Structure 1
């Protein structure tokens, strides 16, 4: 079922969709623009700091309807890098509680993504090499740690061979996700996303390229989906009925013999029936270290058709992401029924006010929606002769 959209107060029902509030269960976004979770690799022992507050707060001030905190590890072993945020311990709640409150104070719905890196864990930060942690990192006080996965298959040559998770290990991880979701709730987040994409642990279970198990957690699609579904059920059970839950998927591996869009449609139907509200449609990441690595041509909106197909065939709301560059493109995606929400990542890093600019472009209204502290200056500048605007 699609989220409900509402016209702005006093506005016509034909107002651009990018300018309308969106209701998801008991939560209302001021617009359908979501800031994607973007790893910053800048936490200390999993705890959020000043960087995260400034980084995320600027997007809420910039007008986004929802701001989603980056992939947050449910166990210490599940971190991608030593700098990942975490919610495996109560001591990590206060820093994230401050961020959730900050986002809400500036008008955005605070959301968080929960994940586990699986065989992609124990990785260097991108600017430190993006390879497996090694001797140079040990000298920096960041030694590697053991990694685990569905099957003992390394992500690439030269990487650790992961330990194959047994039934007891899987049960521990289901509880870790449940406990982390409970901590996210205590921290004040109003939406949660399960990370089933980009070659991380839950995606590793889904894809036949990384899951070679012969027990009930491997084999056909139902078996490969079993563990991600158990995790989703555990998180949905602890997440309040009036708050939405998202699942981010890689809609395709882009590799022959891998996970396909047809698999994603079936998986999305099952998630819908479990009570998942939105499928966040990304792709790739199964091979290579980069989160979305795939040897395919990229163009504006290259992943949008996945969101459209899943929305139509699985009967669930979707979020489109990937090279959505401006407000007119975003509006067309929403207007044409290809997605219910649009997620912005690197464009927001370049311009944290991307949502304000997009809404202003489509809906007019001058600087009425901007924070008073900046809007009044900018409105005055806009009325001034060009020579006085510098």
Structure 2
């Protein structure tokens, strides 16, 4: 009767039925659109091209994740996401956006993370973590308690007298704490903090690490000529302003296995070109991207903005996806092998499909007037990325992967326990 055994998930420290193949796996990947084809990054293989983007929950206890985080993150593993990335996690005690951010600056923070990792792995799914430091945007209150950027005082667990930045320039005069420029010793502590946090992430069992270099946090502040006015080796030229980033990459790469992929998120532009003054631009991001493979980065997660309240963004559904596409095209023209992730407003199956679709394929789904032509040309887009990262859509719709598969006519594996819940073939949802 071995054929009817409800086998346990291999390697799990608790009993749960094995998911083989994992939920979200195309049952016939050869005929599926690129969105539902597996992707191998070093020794990591994800079964589809969906990634849950890091989403701050402001719900940790002294950096330790809680039952909220377990409930929040486990539903993505259940519903077939190729890779889930845990929210921005501070590498130092003064690096959180709020006093309730995720942290990995001490060993006691490993265990609650490992519990989440173990569950994801028990479902056959992959999980990563984003490491960062909030810089001059640190020590604020959670956004549902006060206006964005309201300072968290010491009384409320904040550290307004120890907020770091590249050059001591505040985000705004009426919000946020007044930061201080980091010293050479602070930089050494920060780089070591990234390395130590990465080592702890490996101990927790994560499959990949993403370095947070976007959205106006500390690494961004160093990269931007607006916020970096230093005169030492970490300022001035492009090489000087990116030195901290490359020091961090080296520190992380040194302590993680050679088989583990390393991701990097950046803001591809500050959206400050309208000032006519120097700022971080798309051209800078392309220049940076060309250097990343040699440094050990495998995937560039392309976001934008967040470093200056005077930014001017022409917001439309593809405003960030287009940036990713331009970086990817520039790399391809020079034969540089770096995977690209696209983010922002990815809210439906067809948009996700068209962003990553490669080449030309047979039509998927019904052959009637509602048939989806699975070609990048029909969608009006060239391939703009290798993976799509979504955040708010997964909050609204944890089953986004399964729903997208149905809408694109792709048969995928559901979790065994939910096998009766799948939509009927051709059913409108």
Pairwise same-fold verdict (TM > 0.5): yes
Which of 120, 123, 127 is residue 140 of structure 2 equivalent to?
123
Out of 262-271 and 144-153, give the one that drifted further. 144-153
Partner of 1:240: 257
8 Å CA contact 2:40–2:46 kept in 1: the answer is yes
Aligned to 1:133: 151
Distance 1:369 1:145 in 2: 52
- Asked if the contact 1:268/1:310 (under 8 Å) is kept, the reply is yes
Gaps of at least 5 residues in structure 1 are 1-7
Higher helix share: 1
Partner of 1:317: 339
**Residue number among 350, 357, 373 corresponding to 1:328 in the alignment:** 350
Partner Cα separation in structure 1 for residue 129 and residue 27 of structure 2: 32
2: CA distance, partners of 1:139 / 1:162: 19
Q: Deviations over 1:4-43 (max 9, x none)?
A: xxxx787364420111111111010010100000000000
1:192 aligns with 2:209: yes
CA contact (8 A) 1:18 1:359 kept: no
Q: Is the 8 A contact 1:110 1:189 kept in 2?
A: yes
How much does 1:377 deviate?
A: 3.7
Once residues 39 and 195 of structure 1 are traced to their aligned partners in structure 2, the CA distance between those partners, rounded to angstroms, is 13
Which runs of 4 or more aligned residues in structure 1 lie more than 3 Å from their structure 2 counterparts after TM superposition? 8-14, 137-145
Give how far 1:378 is off.
4.1
Post-superposition Cα deviations, 1:93-130, rounded to whole Å, max 9, x if no partner, equal: 00000111112222321100000011111111111112
Are the aligned partners of 2:26 and 2:37 in contact in 1 as well (CA < 8 Å)? no
Residue equivalent to 1:354: 400
- Residue 294 of structure 2 aligns with which residue? 273
Report how many aligned residue pairs link the two structures: 369
The DSSP-based 3-state class of the residue aligned with 1:96 is helix
Distance 1:45-1:145 versus aligned 2 partners, 3 A rule? farther
Are residue 264 (structure 1) and residue 282 (structure 2) matched?
no
Question: Is residue 151 from structure 1 mapped to residue 173 from structure 2 by the alignment?
Answer: no
- The alignment's TM-score, normalised by the length of structure 1, stands at 0.90
- Distance across 2 between alignment mates of 1:142 and 1:259: 30
Residue 198 of structure 2 corresponds to residue 177 of structure 1: no
Secondary structure of 2:253 counterpart: helix
Q: Which has the larger radius of gyration?
A: 2
- 1:194 is displaced (CA, Å) by 0.3
Change (3 A) 1:41 1:216: same
Shift in Å at residue 71 of structure 1? 0.2
* 8 Å Cα contact 2:414-2:422 kept in structure 1: no
> How far off its partner does 1:372 sit?
2.2
**Which one of 14, 18, 22 corresponds to residue 35 of structure 2?**
18
Matches within 5 A, 1:283-294: 283-288=304-309, 294=311
Question: 1:300–1:325: 8 Å Cα contact kept in structure 2?
Answer: no
How far apart, in 2, do the equivalents of 1:296 and 1:236 lie?
Answer: 34
- Partner residue, 1:216: 233
In the alignment, the residues of structure 2 paired with residue 104 and residue 269 of structure 1 have an alpha-carbon distance, to the nearest angstrom, of 33
- Asked if the contact 1:212–1:218 (Cα under 8 Å) also holds between the matched residues in 2, the reply is yes
> Which residue pairs with 1:5 in the alignment?
none
Contact 2:160/2:177, CA 8 A, preserved across alignment? no
C-alpha distance after superposition, 1:28-74 (max 9, x if no partner): 00101000000000000000110000101111112110000000000
- d(CA) in 2 for partners of 1:60 and 1:303? 26
Tell whether the 8 Å contact from 1:65 to 1:107 is kept in structure 2 after alignment: no
- For 1:202, the equivalent position in structure 2 comes to 219
Q: Is the 8 A contact 2:90 2:132 kept in 1?
A: yes
What SS does the aligned partner of 1:168 have? helix
Among 120, 130, 153, which residue is 1:103 paired with?
120
Unaligned runs of 5+ in 2: 1-24, 358-381
Match of 1:341 among 387, 390, 396: 387
